[in-house]
Amino acid sequence: MVSEEEVRAGLERAGQAHLLRFWAELAPAGRASLLADLAPLDPDELGEHCRRAAAARAREQAPLEQADSRMRPVQPEVLGGVRRSDPQSLRRWEQEGFHQIAQNKVAVLLLAGGQGTRLGVTYPKGMYRVGLPSGKTLYELQAERIRRVEQMAGHKHNTQCTVPWYIMTSEFTLKPTVEFFKENNFFKLDPANVIMFEQRMLPAVDFNGQAILERKDKVAMAPDGNGGLYRALVNNEILEDMERRGVEYVHVYCVDNILVKMADPVFIGFCVMKGADCGAKVVEKAYPTEPVGVVCQVDGIYQVVEYSEVSLETAQRQDESGNLVFNAGNICNHFFTRNFLQTITREFEPLLKSHVAIKKVPFVDEDGNLVKPLKPNGIKMEKFVFDVFQFSKNFVAFEVLREEEFSPLKNADTASKDSPTTARQALLAQHYRWALRAGACFVDENGVRIPEQPSTLGTENPPVLCEISPLVSYFGEGLEVYLKDKEICSPFILDENKAKLLEKA
């Protein structure tokens, strides 16, 4: 156990001795809590972190350097997609993806360290229910998609296989996530194949380069961004675990996308057959100024350029066909080889740029009073998961349909987009389209046929309530056996039990 004297000496060296200014007032429990916060912080790293934060904030206030003249769109030879690739290629990639899954070479890795502040909840976002008829949470949907893709790969290759699920949490989300999975029996996944680990926490810093005390006995800490993944892989020996399991390919995604395809065989197969070490799923931008990063080349190197770094003229630029030139919207959905991740952690992680997030951070003032600021007062430093694209030797991108694969949950329902309502609508609209394609006919309580609206894309409520369990269909496949020429009343939930009844009918 590190002593107060050792911690105090280190803080003085880092220029952060103010963190102990209430030490004399603290009870033994409070002192122990504060030491637990401070002991893991290397004084040299802490001092450098605080200096960098203040300097980065100063740079943020300077006019942004536009990347326009150095940008080039994703090149056709590295770009595939659901619309731009022929059906034979898509089938071939899917077969390859299932082949790799059947050999236990594919894992999924979930980025789940955020607190869900904008959503307005105090628990991890994966535990959120968006109001589906089934009442399922994001975690349950994702667990069931893993089980289904394992079943499909195993059936196609006459084997039993496993897709390990690595879940990166933070200090805020680890305990409740572990408890939630235990309470739900890991959603019938083998607990040995659900590996939770914690990303680093870094102190929030004020505009003068001083770490912030949240309480007299607690430093204000924040996760180090989704790019903290690479340090966390090392700290928790995750790559060694993958190597022991024979995992070669990793699908990385964010917790908040209700439409995410877990271990998507098409995407995995595309990346493997292209010999890629790094890949990104992208969606067509909804409109030129949509506030999403764009996957493109800058000075010949692939990266994500934030919307704030691009001029309006460049954002609106069109090609001869009238399509946006810079159209590949980043959705935080990536493919990495394990070898690539090992190279990043060994060689390049220290080179990743730290990004500045200016936040309202509660703090104690000089008199020890808790202050909840009305305007931003603190700096949180984050790294981004996609900043490793620049180190790829063979980068690829794969364009998917937004209405089929991307509907993020970021805001409370008071917002007009990326809310529980829009996420729910997107999933139910998708399932409605699947049912229509499978030959279902929906009727009202009087048996009168409800007119079809197959173009429903999730921006509005579908005309009926139809939810299909991932355990029945991973991505709309195989539904004809249950739904073809069937008259169905809304609301309709097709789960495993209902599927068995329909199959017999």
pLDDT in the model for residue 116: 76
Is residue 425 in a domain?
no
Looking up residue 339, the CATH number of its domain turns out to be: 3.90.550.10
Q: pLDDT at position 3, please?
A: 86
Whether the pTM exceeds 0.75: the reply is yes
| One domain, residues 77 and 187 | yes
Q: Does residue 14 lie within any of the structural domains?
A: no
Residue 73 within a domain: yes
Instruction: Please determine, for residue 63, whether its predicted confidence score (pLDDT) is greater than 70.
Output: no
Q: What number is the average pLDDT over the span 30-36? A: 93
Average pLDDT over residues 316-322: 91
Same structural domain for residues 225 and 108? Answer: yes
pLDDT of residue 445: 86
Residue 281 has pLDDT above 60, yes or no: yes
Q: Transcribe 214-271 into DSSP letters.
A: EETTEE-EEE--GGGHHHHHHHTTHHHHHHHHT--EEEEEETTBTT--TT-HHHHHHH
**Is 466 contained in some domain?**
yes
Instruction: Tell me: pLDDT of 289 over 80.
Output: yes
Same domain, 374 and 489: no
Residues 6 or more apart whose Cβ sits within 8 Å of residue 73:
296, 297, 325, 326, 327, 328
Query: Residue 459: what pLDDT?
Result: 60
- Give residue 75's pLDDT band: very low, low, confident or very high (50, 70, 90): very high
420 strand-pairing partners? none
Regarding whether 457 and 378 lie in a shared domain, the answer is: no
pLDDT at 167: 98
Would you state the pLDDT for residue 40? 87
Question: Which pLDDT does position 353 carry in this prediction?
Answer: 87
- The parent domain of residue 480 ranges over 436-504
Indicate if the pLDDT at residue 64 is higher than 60.
no
Distance of CA 222 to the CA centre of its chain: 17
Looking at the domain assignment, is residue 470 inside a domain? yes
Task: Copy the structure tokens of residue 399.
Answer: 């364009």
The string of pLDDT tens digits covering residues 82-121 is 999 999 999 999 999 999 999 999 999 999 987 777 888 8
Q: Are residues 318 and 467 in the same domain?
A: no
Q: Is 349 in the same domain as 441?
A: no
In angstroms, rounded to a whole number, what is the distance separating the alpha carbons of residues 329 and 15? 42
Residue 21, in any domain of the structure: no
Q: Cβ neighbours of residue 176 under 8 Å, at least 6 residues apart?
A: 123, 124, 127
Q: What is the pLDDT of residue 62?
A: 59
Give yes or no for residue 429 having a pLDDT over 70: yes
- The residue with greater pLDDT, 497 or 60, is 497
Using CA atoms, how far residue 68 sits from 63, 305, 316, in Å, is 14, 10, 12
Cβ contact 280:333 at 8 Å: yes
Q: Does residue 271 belong to any structural domain of this protein?
A: yes
Domain identity same for 386 and 465: no
Q: By the 8 A CB rule, do 493 and 132 touch?
A: no
Both 485 and 343 in one domain: the answer is no
Looking at per-residue pLDDT, the higher value among 106 and 4 belongs to 106
pLDDT tens figures, 453-496: 877 666 678 899 999 999 999 999 999 999 999 999 988 999 99
In this structure, the answer to whether residues 200 and 101 fall within a common structural domain is yes
Residue 79 has a pLDDT of 96
117 contacts: CB under 8 Å, gap ≥ 6: none
Considering the domain architecture, whether residues 389 and 441 belong to the same structural domain is answered as no
Lowest mean pLDDT among 20-24, 133-137, 346-350, 497-501: 497-501
Q: Is residue 115 domain-resident?
A: yes
Q: What pLDDT is recorded for position 504?
A: 72
pLDDT score of 380 more than 70:
yes
Give me the amino acid identity at 298: V
- The residue-averaged pLDDT of 219-248 equals 96
Q: Are 168 and 113 in contact (CB under 8 A)?
A: yes
Q: Are residues 334 and 451 in the same domain?
A: no
- 109-161 pLDDT tens trace: 999 987 777 888 889 999 999 999 999 999 999 999 999 999 999 999 999 99
Residue of 233, 231, 232, 260 whose CA lies nearest to 247: 233
Amino acid 384: pLDDT: 95
Q: What pLDDT, on the 0 to 100 scale, is given for residue 455?
A: 74
Using the predicted structure, report yes or no on whether residue 43 has a pLDDT greater than 80.
yes
pLDDT of residue 421 exceeding 80: yes
For residue 410, pLDDT beyond 90? yes
Same domain, yes or no, for 142 and 257?
Answer: yes
Mean pLDDT, the chain, integer: 93
Residue 65 has pLDDT above 80, yes or no: no
Q: Are 418 and 258 in contact (CB under 8 A)?
A: no
Where residue 484 sits, what CATH number does that domain have?
2.10.10.100
Domains of the chain: total: 2
